[in-house]
Amino acid sequence: MWRIQMFFFGENPGVSGITEAQAALMDYLHYTRSFQFTDAEYISMNSPIFLSNLLKKVKDRQDIGRSITRFLLFHPINEFEPFFESLGLVPSEFNQYLPRDLMFLSDDSVLLQNYHTLVNYGVPRTKIGKIFKEAMGILFSEDGILSSKLRSYEEIGLSRTSIIKIISSAPSLLIGDVDRDFVRVLEELESMGVDREWIGRNLSEENSYLWGRMLMLLQFFRQLGFSRREVGALVRRNPGFLLDNSGKMVFSVVGLLAKMGSTKDELSGLFLHFPSIQLESFVNNLRFSLLFLTTIGMEPEDIKEVTPCSVLTSLSVGHKRLCRIIKQDPHQFKNWVFGMKIDRLPNCKQDHISLEQKEKFLLGLGFSENSKEMKRALSKFRGKGDELQERYNCFVDAGLDPKDVSKMIKLAPHILNQSKDVLEMKMDFLVNGLGYPLDSLVTFPSFMSFTLEGSKPGKVKPNMALSTILATAEKVFLKRFVERHSEGPKVWEKFKRTVDHC
């Protein structure tokens, strides 16, 4: 307090001089102007700019207290100036509201009465300045109106403590009738298991509030698929979702991610497992990250995939395990941001069991233990170990010799990363769609890696190697096998149309 006051004084009168000046002003307001003692004391202690200007008018600095007392006897002050300043307002904010024809605060009985109504209700004097700025009309309202408004909020189930916090944070609630959107927000929260006192405990006097938008946010969470109880738990866990800019931050996140193609389930998952970070910081980080990626020319569909895919690959972990890790410790997120080195996670028990199953399977096919060949195959496999045998059996059941299937897996272990249904579909197309014998897979198992669309580049002689058809670029293939014959392009186009309708 002393440092703040000394900052305003032109010539530093010292701490004792400031104390004398404050005491002289307090005595004048209390004894001469009949202010209540608490009002006089508070105003004199919290109006440094006014006191500084008053000191400039006093010449005798040897006895500051007596000099100010003498000056005030012959030069009445405009009492509205120190009064408004003591509420936390600066001259640039209150000058326009100074009465033109009044100097004494007691002449504006309505203002003084409403001021005392707030003080007696328990509103800190330091908060009344914000109420004056944002709901000025209420301080000039007729007798009883302010008290009536305070009672109306008590009648909807709010405690006095909550009302004080709420009107200090959102003074506009004192304007007009009880704000219907505000009441609906309370009712919605209550239906979600959040008591009415919660909002008073969590409001910030630094923010302004739009109750209608907050209501929209609560309804939006319901549309994402959350139950009422889940929304309540979400809001209690992350008050900023609702209270930071009245939900604007959440809608910003949704807008950014929706443009990148995020689904409804992905959005609900984000909010359900939201990291321990300020919402505003999260929005800024997200915005800057997306801006960087779009600036370097990355497409939205690629942006959507790059981070999760990169993290999953670097950690060598699946979606389910990563989800468990984040649930258990959201702080792990900070270890996976751009620019950080990401180390592989140690194998969990399930991973260890799956690895043992894969090794056992490969040993059964004739792989040497710990050989480069085995390590290469293990690095290519995805999924669980017990699924490999089923996919191997799929080839054998189709008519291939077990020894040939083992050779195929040694050449292209990744072919076992597909489900049984997909493998059967591709083998059927090879035999019945393209007219090749099944054992052609033995020399070219990578056929199973192509999509069916990629396996239909064109019709060729039955004795041409399958690898020539699929592994040759289309332009080279056309030049080498199609365009050499005058009717080739026509036959090619006709065949493509036939395949497209299959």
Fold of 349-452: Transcription termination factor 3, mitochondrial (1.25.70)
308 against 197, higher pLDDT = 197
Q: What pLDDT, in 10s, does the model give residues 164-196?
A: 999 999 999 998 888 899 999 999 999 999 999
* Cβ pair 300, 262 in contact under 8 A: no
Given this model, what pLDDT does residue 278 score? 78
343 against 498, higher pLDDT = 343
Q: What pLDDT, in 10s, does the model give residues 122-162?
A: 999 989 999 988 888 888 888 789 999 999 999 999 999 99
Given this model, what pLDDT does residue 433 score? 77
> In the predicted model, is pLDDT for residue 499 greater than 80?
no
Given this model, what pLDDT does residue 332 score? 60
> In the predicted model, is pLDDT for residue 237 greater than 80?
yes
Q: Where are the domains of the chain?
A: 349-452
- For range 287-291, the mean pLDDT: 73
Q: What is the number of other CB atoms lying within 10 angstroms of the CB of residue 363?
A: 12
Burial class (CB in 10 A: 0-12, 13-18, 19+), 214: buried
CA distances in angstroms from 342 to 306, 371, 397, listed in the order given? 15, 27, 42
The candidate with the shortest Cα–Cα distance to 112, out of 176, 56, 39, is 39
* CA 244, chain centre distance (Å): 10
Mean pLDDT of the chain: 79
Given this model, what pLDDT does residue 164 score? 93
**From CA 314, how far away is CA 329, in angstroms rounded?**
19
373 against 461, higher pLDDT = 373
- For range 390-401, the mean pLDDT: 88
Per cent of the chain over pLDDT 90 is 24
Alpha-carbon dihedral angle through residues 174, 180, 182, 187, given to the nearest 10 degrees:
140
Provide the whole-model pTM. Answer: 0.56
Q: What pLDDT, in 10s, does the model give residues 92-118?
A: 888 888 888 899 999 999 999 999 999
Given this model, what pLDDT does residue 221 score? 92
